[in-house]
């Protein structure tokens, strides 16, 4: 098969980790007889520096024309101090999500047996955890009307959802649950919010189309607790944009393998794959960043965007091997063990595929 992949390396360590993901993807393509064309494009702080906006039209066109987007990370400290500054890298992220219609953010949290002791949670709490959040990504309070009144003394943000938006996300949730253990948790705040009541009634109405799926409804505050107490009691969770922002980040730290977690943002026009970690500016250019989350995001891309399960498994297998053999960057190395550079890890993976 032939694929055209938009390559958005972004800022900080983005280019370095993306580089390794390209290496590994190319090696997979060679091995399985596919042909990948990579089309690089600017986004984030580097796009602001180059052309004044964080998500240029040209980048958007490249993404729209691609079969998938592979994304590194964005953000630069020079934009960190003033969240109300007119041009910021994150605005590019939000614009990109909206313009590409990336409505479903897929955020798995799972454990690697060899890394389980990195978790802040006790082993018996985290062992066996394997959950996936589907976070709605193009609606809610992120994109509702916002502004000031009363000469700036009053601020407002509007949270809006339509039934169709909820259905679209929930459908993905039910479908994902069908491929897993058939358990779906709808996270809302239906005891307070009208948008949550719309979420709940919409999901309730869809239950009969998926009679095999057991659906539970939990309040967001209760989920924030149970994620720390009994994370392995969850499987697929669906939720709105802001709750998803908070809970997926909370979920990402419980496994102790945050630096390895991949993610996907699935859309109408295309889908985007990215590590959940940030642009880690302090490490820029040092060739020390851990590329595995980006490489595992490429595996998700092969499986979900291109339907190539075997290729994805090949990547996951060799990543597991590198973890078991300790061929890892310094963040993952055991005390006193030899550590490897970002590019060395990529080379090793290619050699061991």
Query: CA dist 157 to 106, 112, 244, Å?
Result: 25, 40, 17
Encoded tokens for 220: 């967001």
| Rounded CA separation 82/143 (Å) | 20
Residue 49 annotated to the active site: no
Residues at the interface with ligand IPM (CB under 6 A)? 90, 93-94, 191-192, 221, 245
Selecting among 49, 146, 249, 309, the annotated active-site residue is: 249
CB of 330 to a copy of itself, least distance (A): 19
Radius of gyration of the chain measured on its C-alpha atoms: 20
Choice between 127 and 245, CB closer to ligand IPM: 245
- Establish whether 180 is an annotated binding residue: no
Selecting among 142, 161, 210, 340, the annotated active-site residue is: 142
Selecting among 55, 172, 189, 340, the annotated active-site residue is: 189
- Three-state DSSP class for 8? strand
Residues at the interface with a copy of itself (CB under 8 A)? 83-84, 88, 90, 94, 120-122, 125, 141-142, 144, 146-148, 150, 152-164, 189-198, 200-201, 220-222, 224-225, 227-229, 242-243, 245-247, 249-250, 252-254
| Rounded CA separation 5/53 (Å) | 22
CB of 77 to ligand IPM, least distance (A): 14
Provide CB contacts within 8 A for 313, sequence distance 6+.
299
CB of 219 to a copy of itself, least distance (A): 9
Cβ atoms of 260 and 112 within 8 Å: the answer is yes
CB of 347 to ligand IPM, least distance (A): 30
Which among a copy of itself, ligand IPM, none contacts residue 64 (Cβ within 5 to 8 A by kind)? none
CB of 247 to ligand IPM, least distance (A): 11
- Establish whether 304 is an annotated binding residue: no
> Can you say whether the dihedral through the CA atoms of 203, 209, 211, 213 is positive or negative?
negative
Choice between 11 and 311, CB closer to ligand IPM: 11
Selecting among 67, 130, 235, 245, the annotated active-site residue is: 245
Any idea what DSSP says for residue 77?
Answer: G
| Rounded CA separation 174/300 (Å) | 19
- Name the residue number minimizing CB distance to ligand IPM: 90
200 sits in the region (left: phi over 0; alpha: psi -120 to 50; else beta) called alpha
- Establish whether 107 is an annotated binding residue: yes
User: In this structure, how many other beta carbons lie within 10 angstroms of the beta carbon of residue 307?
Assistant: 10
User: In this structure, how many other beta carbons lie within 10 angstroms of the beta carbon of residue 42?
Assistant: 22
CB of 282 to a copy of itself, least distance (A): 16
| Rounded CA separation 342/346 (Å) | 7
Choice between 274 and 311, CB closer to a copy of itself: 274
Choice between 75 and 173, CB closer to a copy of itself: 75
- Establish whether 245 is an annotated binding residue: yes
- Establish whether 149 is an annotated binding residue: no
Residue 245 annotated to the active site: yes
Choice between 255 and 329, CB closer to a copy of itself: 255
Cβ atoms of 339 and 329 within 8 Å: the answer is yes
| Rounded CA separation 167/158 (Å) | 20
Beta strands across the sheet bearing 236-239: 35-40, 2-10, 68-73, 271-275, 262-266, 104-110, 130-136, 236-239, 183-188, 214-219
Residue 321 annotated to the active site: no
Choice between 20 and 218, CB closer to ligand IPM: 218
Summarize the annotated binding site for Mg(2+) as residue ranges.
221, 245, 249
Q: Which residues are catalytic?
A: 142, 189, 221, 245, 249
Summarize the annotated binding site for substrate as residue ranges.
97, 107, 135, 221
Summarize the annotated binding site as residue ranges.
97, 107, 135, 221, 245, 249
């Amino acid at each position: 098969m032939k694929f055209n992949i938009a390559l958005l390396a972004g800022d900080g360590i983005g280019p370095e980790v993306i580089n390794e993901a390209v290496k590994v993807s190319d090696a997979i393509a060679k091995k399985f007889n596919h042909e990948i064309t990579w089309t690089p494009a600017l986004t984030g702080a580097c796009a602001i520096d180059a052309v004044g906006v964080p998500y240029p039209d040209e980048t958007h066109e490249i993404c729209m024309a691609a079969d998938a987007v592979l994304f590194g990370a964005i953000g630069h400290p020079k934009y960190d101090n003033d969240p109300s500054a007119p041009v910021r890298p994150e605005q590019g992220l939000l614009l990109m999500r909206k313009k590409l219609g990336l409505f479903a953010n897929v955020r798995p949290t799972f454990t690697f047996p060899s890394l389980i002791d990195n978790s802040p949670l006790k082993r018996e709490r985290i062992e066996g955890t394997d959950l996936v959040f589907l976070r709605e990504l193009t609606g809610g309070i992120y994109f509702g009307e916002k502004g000031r009144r009363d000469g700036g003394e009053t601020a407002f943000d509007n949270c809006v959802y339509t039934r169709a938006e909820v259905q679209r996300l929930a459908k993905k949730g039910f479908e994902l649950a069908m491929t897993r253990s058939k358990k779906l948790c709808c996270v809302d705040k239906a005891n307070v919010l009208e948008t949550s009541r719309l979420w709940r009634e919409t999901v309730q109405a869809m239950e009969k189309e998926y009679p095999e799926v057991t659906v539970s409804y939990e309040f967001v505050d209760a989920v924030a607790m149970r994620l720390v107490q009994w994370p392995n009691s969850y499987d697929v969770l669906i939720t709105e944009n802001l709750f998803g922002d908070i809970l997926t980040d909370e979920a990402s730290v419980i496994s102790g393998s945050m630096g390895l977690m991949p993610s996907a943002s699935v859309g109408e026009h295309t889908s985007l794959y990215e590590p959940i970690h940030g642009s880690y500016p302090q490490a820029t250019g040092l060739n020390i960043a851990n590329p595995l989350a980006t490489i595992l995001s490429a595996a998700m891309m092969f499986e979900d965007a291109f339907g190539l399960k075997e290729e994805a498994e090949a990547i996951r297998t060799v990543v597991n091997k590198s973890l078991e053999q300790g061929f890892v960057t310094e963040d993952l190395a055991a005390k006193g063990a030899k550590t490897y550079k970002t590019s060395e890890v990529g080379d090793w993976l290619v050699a061991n595929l």
